[in-house]
C-alpha cells in the first residue's frame, strides 16, 4: 500500500503563489507540481484568506 505524501509549508506556498498569479489554470499548476487540483485550489483559497 502506498504511503500518503506530506508536503511542506514551502512547497504549499510555492504552489499557492503559482495559482494566485493566474498565468496558468489550476489543472496546469497541478500537473507541473504533480499534485491533485484540489490541493492547489485549497492552498490558493487558504493563502488569499490569510
Tens of pLDDT, residue by residue over 12-42, are 999 999 999 999 999 999 999 999 999 999 9
- The answer to whether residue 3 is domain-embedded is no
- The answer to whether residue 4 is domain-embedded is no
Please report which helix (H) or strand (E) contains residue 45, including its range: helix 37-49
Domain, as residue range, for 45: 9-49
Higher pLDDT, 1 or 18: 18
Rounded Cα gap, residues 39 and 9, in angstroms? 13
Does pLDDT of 50 surpass 80? no
- The answer to whether residue 25 is domain-embedded is yes
Chain segment 9-20, per-residue pLDDT in tens: 999 999 999 999
- pTM here? 0.83
Q: What total number of domains does the chain contain?
A: 1
- The answer to whether residue 36 is domain-embedded is yes
Does pLDDT of 43 surpass 80? yes
Rounded Cα gap, residues 37 and 29, in angstroms? 8
Distance of CA 5 to the CA centre of its chain: 13
How many distinct helices (H) and strands (E) make up the chain? Answer: 3, 0
- The answer to whether residue 13 is domain-embedded is yes
**pLDDT value, residue 42:** 94
Amino acid at each position: 500500500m502506498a504511503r500518503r505524501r506530506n508536503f511542506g509549508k514551502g512547497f504549499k506556498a510555492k504552489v499557492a503563489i503559482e495559482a494566485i498569479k493566474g498565468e496558468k489554470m489550476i489543472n496546469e499548476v497541478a500537473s507541473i507540481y504533480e499534485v491533485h487540483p484540489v490541493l492547489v485550489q485549497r492552498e490558493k483559497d487558504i493563502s488569499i484568506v490569510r
